[in-house]
Amino acid sequence: MNHEVQENVDLPIGQLIRSARQQLHLSQYALADRLAAVSGRPTMGRDRVARWERGRQIPRREWRQWLSAVLQVPPERLDAGAVAARQQNRLGHAVVTTQSPQRQTTRRQQGTPALLPVFRSRVQAGILAATLLNPHRAFSLTELADHAGGSLASVSKEAKLLEDAGILVTRHDGAIRLMRAASGKASLGPLTELIRVTYGVPQIIGEEFGRVAAVGRISLVGCWAERFAGVVGPEPESIQVRLTQRPNATPDLDALNAAAARAQHRLHRPVRFTLVAANRPAGRRAAGGTGRVPPQRNGPPIVRIAPFDEPTAPVGESWRPGGDVVSRLVASGQLELFSGPEADARPYFDVATNHLAAAEDVATRSAGSAFVLVCHAANMIALGLLAAQGLRPVAGGTTDVTSQCVVAQFGAQFGHVELLRQRQLALNFPAGRDNRITTQDVEAAIPALEALLETAKDLALELDLFA
């Protein structure tokens, strides 16, 4: 039995898998081969192992059973690691930082970039952003994979193409392959400027606003964030930034305006910021579970990509939109109030996460089944937000109550819930034209729902029992 891994009870499951694999002297490819053999699923590959170890995906229970058998780790330890990983994601650890601006909110990183579709892929754009905006630094393939959000295989392929084009140069430090931007090429200047005003936005926003004292969190929101996350739409006219101030501290508005002016000069695009209050309570409600608000971090603030605008309390105001809609639905008997341990969003969000992972797995084999899972995930996201407030639909009520509430309370971005509900109803009639679900439908829906789930997790931390 792997006793050393047993003792690391608080490690996220990705670190547990990596530690156990290394102790058994297995490569990621070897582990994938063994899992494919014991599970009987030949589609199991090294990329999935890499996503697990980097924390980009949490293995489902069935895969944790096979991992336990192959890695000789007790299943309860892996289950605890999965809980730790979900908690880490819930507390906002899987975010975009100023040092790693290209880590995105969706697992689908290798499609054509919506922000600048002239690039071959998001991975290529991420590599260029890392290297061209940091010309005096060399990156290993692992570091580039972290920046670009791709597998080592895809990063190695794209880096080789860029090297052949003379954009990157390579040197070796022992067994490590290091890549950096080439120097002395006239064509790199315009390319760097193009990258700076597109995929370089998180780094520049972090550099400028991160200098201002009392800024606790930086979020990129609005149209630009949607394009960055891969949501197709119009070209963003401006960069929208939401700044959350640290508790008991107020940033200097002159310093913020100066930071916005510097960023605007560097990005050649208007930069607009909104300052909001850090209005999270000291802890979760006593009746609603044991979840705690994450402590404030020291050091430079995090740059966070929020593809859908999040309602947050402006300084000096109390945020409670949609209360009249909820009150009306409660009074009419379509919603009911409850409290206690069940008033917790986390189980609903966990189910939504599992549905989206399963949808991604079966999309190529059965697009219709995958789409039904996506629709169920959307409903679970909405039910989780209601549960965090001690609200739930009454059995036998109208089916659109959940979507009515979340749209009224949290904004039009949750209109996805109602659209998917209506589409799912159409699927109940197989002879109709609206049930022709394709793989492209699923691939377009999953990233949007993943982004909506992350938004919902943040919102749930802000909520208390509805009154």
Tell me what pLDDT residue 358 has. 92
Q: Check pLDDT > 70 for residue 43.
A: no
Q: Average pLDDT for residues 369-396, to the nearest whole number? A: 88
**The total number of residues written for the chain in this structure:** 467
Task: Give the pLDDT confidence of 427-452 residue by residue, as tens digits.
Answer: 776 665 556 778 887 887 888 888 88
Lowest mean pLDDT among 148-152, 323-327, 409-413: 148-152
Q: Which tokens hold the place of 145?
A: 């994979």
Which pLDDT belongs to residue 26?
Answer: 84
- The pLDDT of residue 351: 93
Instruction: Reply yes or no on whether the pLDDT at 293 is more than 60.
Output: no
Residue 355, pLDDT > 60, answer: yes
What is the mean predicted confidence (pLDDT) over 181-209? Answer: 83
Rg (CA), the chain: 23
**Does 349 have pLDDT greater than 90?**
yes
Q: Which of residues 148 and 360 earns the better pLDDT score?
A: 360
Q: Where are the chain's structural domains?
A: 3-90, 122-196, 201-305, 323-462
Half-sphere exposure of 439 (CA within 13 A, CB side): 7
Asked whether residue 420 carries a pLDDT value surpassing 90, the answer given is no
pLDDT at 21 over 80: yes
Task: Report how far apart, in Å, the C-alpha atoms of 53 and of each of 16, 56, 360, 369 are.
Answer: 8, 8, 18, 28
* pLDDT exceeds 70 at position 300: no
25-51: average pLDDT:
78
- pLDDT for res 381: 93
Report pLDDT for 95: 36
What percentage of the chain exceeds 90 in pLDDT? 8
pLDDT at 116: 63
The pLDDT assigned to 290 comes to: 33
Topology of the domain covering 122-196: Arc Repressor Mutant, subunit A (1.10.10)
Contact 148, 127 (CB under 8 A): yes
Stretch 339-351: mean pLDDT, rounded? 85
Query: Cβ distance 60 to 86 under 8 Å?
Result: no
- What is the pLDDT, as a whole number, of residue 90? 60
383 has pLDDT over 90 = yes
Confidence of residue 235 (pLDDT cuts 50, 70, 90): confident
Work out the average pLDDT over 308-321.
44
pLDDT given for residue 9 in this prediction: 47
Dihedrals phi, psi of 227, to nearest 5 degrees: -65, -40
Fold category of 201-305 in CATH: GMP Synthetase; Chain A, domain 3 (3.30.300)
Angle at 86 between CA 81 and CA 89, to 5 degrees: 125
Note the pLDDT of residue 110: 46
**Higher-confidence position of 67 and 291:** 67
Residue 280 binned pLDDT confidence (cut-offs 50, 70, 90): very low
Max mean pLDDT among 103-107, 245-249, 302-306, 391-395 falls in 391-395
Render pLDDT for 76-131 as a digit per residue (tens, 0 to 9).
Answer: 899 888 888 887 766 543 333 333 333 333 333 444 555 666 777 778 888 888 88
Average pLDDT taken over every residue of the chain: 76
- Does the pLDDT of residue 464 top 90, yes or no? no
Q: In the predicted model, is pLDDT for residue 323 greater than 50? A: yes
Task: Examine the pLDDT at 320 and tell me if it is beyond 60.
Answer: no
**What pLDDT sits at residue 230?**
65
Phi, psi torsion values for 209, nearest 5 degrees:
-75, -20
Say whether 201-305 and 3-90 share the same fold. Answer: no
Q: What is the pLDDT of residue 232?
A: 63
What's domain 3-90's superfamily in CATH? lambda repressor-like DNA-binding domains (1.10.260.40)
Beta-bridged to residue 23, according to DSSP, are: none
Alpha-carbon distance of 183 to 206, in angstroms, equals 26
Query: Which pLDDT score is estimated for 434?
Result: 52
Q: At residue 4, does pLDDT exceed 50?
A: no
Which CATH code fits 323-462?
Answer: 1.20.120.330
Model pLDDT, residue 282: 36
Q: List CB contacts of 300: < 8 A, sequence separation 6 or more.
A: 98, 206, 210
* pTM of the predicted structure, to 2 decimals: 0.41
